[in-house]
Amino acid sequence: MGERNDNLAGSSGFGYAEFGSWYDTYCTDVLQPALDRAMDALQRELDDALPERDIARIRSLSGRVKSKRRTWRKVSQPRYRRRMNTVDDIPSVIDDLIGVRLTCTNLRDIETVQVALENLPRTAGRRRPLGLDPDSERDYIENPKQSGYRGWHINLNVQQDATPVTCELQVRTVLQDSWGELTHEDTYSKAGGSPPLVEVLSTRMADLLATLDDIAEDLRNELDRIDEAIVQETAVQVDEPDEPTLDPDVNPGPAADAADLLLERWSSLDRPLELSSLAWALQHEFGAEVSDDWFGYRTFKRFLRAAIPDGEISTGRRAYLLPPS
């Protein structure tokens, strides 16, 4: 087997033995540390860019270094091999030696991630250790693969010491990710194609899950509409006199705890925060039933004003709590 693999070198000048030695060293010294750095930097970018409610819709963030055997299998494909003269050419030709997968709840969450990454620099540096290559975007949601695979891919770059490393980011919904798990898409993704029945069944399941994704998106839109309605006030409610400032010594219990949570969030704000996101946080912490009367204050805005008397709320179709001045 080793001799046959070595013969795959052809005119490129290296075989499996030389590749294996290179891979073991490069994986330990570069790939694994670069993966850890990329995942940490990506998580921090998302935490900084997204409100808590959107962060909660990111179901998982995982990463992997492509195994030696799978890397060799890819290196051995003629379309890649003809571009390599030595093992040192591999990282510049194979762009998914490390990969990160981000799984979201809904299709719109993928768009949210895309917007959050738009401000990444094109090249990683010391201050921003993660860069983004916009020319590498592959949108398999708008243009699914023939197999039925859907997802959004783009290349990130990270500096590991002085070595630039490319990282493929895959962003999928939970249903798109489930399709990949159920069909073993990576296993059947080969030059010879999949068995015909596998292709038919995989495509049928992909189409069904895509329909479910569309329904889930409609459900998400309706739930968001309800969330927006929760923080709105009717004209009658707006004209009611303001409640006095909430005093924890006078009003102990969940209301005081909720007020402390709001005050803590407001004190740490560095950019406007949607009221619907704040209301979601309280419901998440204290239960959905708190929105029935908001601890006796009838509306969320009245409770927010009582909890943060010095806070300022923006006007407009969507209301925001503004950072402390």
| pLDDT tens profile 78-105 | 999 999 999 999 999 999 999 999 999 9
The total number of structural domains in the chain stands at: 2
Q: What pLDDT is recorded for position 187?
A: 57
- Is the Cα dihedral 253, 255, 279, 271 positive or negative? negative
d(CA 152, CA 136): 11
Asked, for residue 217, whether it belongs to a domain, the answer is: no
Total length of the chain? 325
- 34 and 169 together in one domain: yes
- 163 and 287 together in one domain: no
- 157 and 278 together in one domain: no
Q: Does residue 48 contact residue 109 with C-beta atoms inside 8 Å?
A: no
Asked, for residue 215, whether it belongs to a domain, the answer is: no
- Helices 300-307, 275-286: axis angle to 10 degrees equals 90
SS3 84: coil
Asked, for residue 35, whether it belongs to a domain, the answer is: yes
d(CA 217, CA 110): 12
Asked, for residue 203, whether it belongs to a domain, the answer is: no
Asked, for residue 24, whether it belongs to a domain, the answer is: yes
Q: What pLDDT is recorded for position 248?
A: 55
pLDDT band per the 50, 70, 90 thresholds, residue 232: confident
Which element (helix H / strand E) includes 21? helix 16-26
CATH of the domain at 76: 3.30.460.10
- 168 and 280 together in one domain: no
At 140-172, the pLDDT tens digits run 999 999 889 999 999 999 988 878 899 999 999
pTM over 0.85: no
- 160 and 49 together in one domain: yes
- 253 and 157 together in one domain: no
SS3 39: helix
Amino acid at 298: R
d(CA 148, CA 199): 8
pLDDT (mean) for 106-120: 94
- 8 and 118 together in one domain: yes
Domain extent, residue 276, equals: 235-321
- 159 and 242 together in one domain: no
Beta-ladder partners of 313: 321
- 18 and 156 together in one domain: yes
pLDDT (mean) for 299-308: 90
Asked, for residue 7, whether it belongs to a domain, the answer is: yes
Q: Does residue 86 contact residue 11 with C-beta atoms inside 8 Å?
A: no
- CA distances to 91, 184, 245 from 150, rounded to whole Å, are 26, 14, 51
Whether 261 shows a pLDDT value over 80: the answer reads yes
Asked, for residue 165, whether it belongs to a domain, the answer is: yes
Asked, for residue 264, whether it belongs to a domain, the answer is: yes
- 41 and 162 together in one domain: yes
- 50 and 169 together in one domain: yes
Which element (helix H / strand E) includes 169? strand 163-173
With CA atoms as reference, report the closest residue to 275 among 238, 316, 313: 313
For residue 105, how many other CB atoms are within 10 A of its CB?
Answer: 18
